[in-house]
Amino acid sequence: MIGFRNRAIHNYPSLREEQIYEILQKDINDFKEFLSIAQNYLKTK
């Protein structure tokens, strides 16, 4: 996931849709965990 973030920020034009899809399929739980943390944080504000 960290490698993807670095590529997305620094070399965005080289990303292919297939790469993004594969990363989302493999690391979907990272996104779900982030969303849960963000939602919990926003509920306290």
How many alpha carbons lie under 13 Å from residue 33 in its C-beta half-sphere?
4
Q: How many domains does the chain fold into?
A: 1
pTM of the model: 0.54
- What is the span of the domain harbouring residue 27? 2-43
Give the DSSP letter string of the chain.
-HHHHHHHHH-GGG--HHHHHHHHHHSHHHHHHHHHHHHHHHHT-
Q: Measured between alpha carbons, how far apart are the two ends of the chain, in Å?
A: 28
Q: Letter for the amino acid at 20?
A: I
The whole-number average pLDDT for the span 4-32 is 81
Say how far apart CA 16 and CA 19 lie, in whole Å: 5
What does the pLDDT look like over 12-23, one tens digit per residue? 777 888 988 888
Q: Letter for the amino acid at 29?
A: N
